Structures are given as structure tokens and as C-alpha cells.
């Protein structure tokens, strides 16, 4: 009986995950509930202390207590702080890329898990009123087939319940790919790119803003500015990767 269940489960897992590891393409353990082989999984680097208390930048050394990195010293963020699941290097970078641009949804749970673990550790969830994904411009979303931030946010609220508010924060114009721009260009690129349709749902709400990656924080900061403008009480940024 047990063997039959196991066999049936392997069939289900096999339908969800391709036979080979998403990154190194070596055969995956068929019964493993993961899109990656154990070796690639081990190369994911979750962010642990010490990291910058504002932007989650990991610090390779010893730091006593809370510390703020030199990038953040002169920055004025509208969000309270950013929480990120893992370093966006190697395997994690490849996974995010495939998930986002190649619609490799079977890698999504792996990425969401890293983000959710960081949220459990660093966000006081009873004080979260609402989860808001960073929106895509409609034509971009049609082209991509889905909004990766919304996909992650849906997964998040299943693990850490909170109302998910999508569609109210909107991207009102198309922007260039942030990855191809420098820090100053990124800020300029997203300036005025977001708007709130109806401010009432956000009024005095403590929000968690979800995106796939945090690099300079230009996109999430612009969203946070618009959300606070609409009357939100606070915004915490939550992402899978810290670039
Ligand atoms: Zn692998
Ligand atoms: Zn920082």
C-alpha cells in the first residue's frame, strides 16, 4: 500500500518537475520535491546575519548588533526596510532568470520558500495588514505570461496569511529593463511609473511590498513612495533575491 502511494506520489512529482535539475541539467532525484539537484540546492545562499538592517545587503565579516551599509548611509528610502531571502548569485540568479523570463514555474516554490523563510524571521506578521505585489505594465505581463511578483505574493499569503491586494497599485507606463541601467538611470526610469487606483484600501495600512529581486531598490522605493502618498502607514519590502 505504502509503496503504491510512493509510486503514485513520484508520478505526481514527475509531472510537476522536469526530470533534470533546472540549473546543472543533471538527473534530479525523481522523488525529491524540488526542481534542483541536492548539489545545486546547497549552492543557494540564504541571507543570514550580519546584513544591513535597511537594505539586507549581506556583510562578509563580523558585525555587532544592527548595522547599516555604506550604500544606505546617504539614501532616503520610503520603505521601512527590505527583507531578502538569498544572495542573487550563481544558482539563485539562474533560477530567478528562468522563473521570470522562461516561465519556469516549477522553480517558483523553491524561490518562494527562501523568501517566506526570511519573512518569518524578520517581519512581525501580526502587524502586516496587506500584501502588495510590484505590478508589471499590462503589455509586459501579457508578453511574459504572468507577473512573477504576484505569483510569489500568492505563495506568501498561503504560508503567512494576509489579504493580497493586486491591481490597486498599477504601473502606468512602460519602463526599460532596470538590469541594463546604472543606479541613477534606474531611479529616473521608474520615476512616475506607478500610481494607485483607489487610495482607500491602503489608508493607514501596514503593507508588505513583494518583488522578485532587490538590487538598488529603485523600483520598490518608487512603489513605496506612491503607497505612502496614498495614505499607507508603512511599507516593508520583501524579495527573493538581493542583487
Ligand atoms: Zn543541479
Ligand atoms: Zn544597506
pLDDT (tens digit per residue) in 136-146? 999 999 999 99
Among 48-52, 148-152, 193-197, which is the least confidently predicted range? 48-52
Q: Which residues contact 100 (CB under 8 A, 6 or more apart)?
A: 144, 148, 212
pLDDT, one tens digit per residue, over 173-215 is 999 999 899 999 999 999 999 999 999 999 999 999 999 999 9
Q: How far is the CA of 155 from the centre of ligand 2 (A)?
A: 27
**Tell me, what's the pLDDT at 10?**
53
Q: Which ligand is nearest to the CA of 51?
A: 2
Q: With 80 as the cut, is the pLDDT of residue 221 above it?
A: yes
Q: How far is the CA of 68 from the centre of ligand 2 (A)?
A: 5
Domains and CATH numbers, the chain: 1-41 (no CATH), 43-242 (3.40.50)
Q: Which among 194, 184, 202 has a CA at the least distance from the CA of 222?
A: 194
**Tell me, what's the pLDDT at 67?**
83
Q: With 80 as the cut, is the pLDDT of residue 14 above it?
A: no
Split at pLDDT 50, 70, 90, the class of 65 is confident
Phi-psi region of 221 (alpha: psi -120 to 50; beta: other; left: phi over 0): alpha
Q: What is the pTM of this model?
A: 0.92
Q: Which residues contact 174 (CB under 8 A, 6 or more apart)?
A: 137, 139, 140
Q: Which ligand is nearest to the CA of 63?
A: 2
Q: Which ligand is nearest to the CA of 29?
A: 1
Amino acid at each position: 500500500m505504502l509503496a503504491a502511494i510512493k509510486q503514485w506520489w513520484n508520478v505526481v512529482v514527475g509531472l510537476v518537475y522536469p526530470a533534470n535539475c533546472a540549473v546543472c541539467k543533471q538527473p534530479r532525484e525523481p522523488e525529491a520535491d524540488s526542481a534542483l539537484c541536492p548539489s545545486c540546492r546547497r549552492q543557494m545562499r540564504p541571507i543570514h546575519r550580519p546584513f544591513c538592517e535597511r537594505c539586507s545587503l549581506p556583510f562578509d565579516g563580523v558585525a555587532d548588533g544592527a548595522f547599516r551599509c555604506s550604500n544606505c548611509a546617504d539614501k532616503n528610502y520610503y520603505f521601512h526596510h527590505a527583507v531578502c531571502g538569498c544572495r542573487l548569485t550563481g544558482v539563485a540568479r539562474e533560477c530567478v532568470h528562468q522563473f521570470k523570463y522562461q516561465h519556469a514555474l516549477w522553480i517558483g516554490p523553491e524561490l518562494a520558500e527562501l523568501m517566506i523563510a526570511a519573512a518569518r524571521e524578520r517581519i512581525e506578521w501580526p502587524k502586516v495588514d496587506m500584501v502588495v505585489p510590484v505590478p508589471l505594465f499590462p503589455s509586459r505581463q501579457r508578453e511574459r505570461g504572468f507577473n512573477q511578483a504576484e505569483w510569489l505574493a500568492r505563495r506568501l499569503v498561503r504560508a503567512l496569511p494576509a489579504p493580497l491586494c493586486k491591481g490597486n497599485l498599477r504601473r502606468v507606463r512602460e519602463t526599460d529593463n532596470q538590469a541594463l541601467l546604472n543606479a541613477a538611470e534606474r531611479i529616473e526610469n521608474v520615476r512616475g511609473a506607478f500610481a494607485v487606483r483607489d487610495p482607500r484600501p491602503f489608508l493607514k495600512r501596514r503593507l508588505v511590498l513583494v518583488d522578485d529581486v532587490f538590487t538598488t531598490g529603485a523600483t520598490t522605493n518608487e512603489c513605496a513612495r506612491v503607497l505612502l502618498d496614498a495614505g499607507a502607514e508603512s511599507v516593508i519590502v520583501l524579495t527573493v533575491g538581493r542583487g
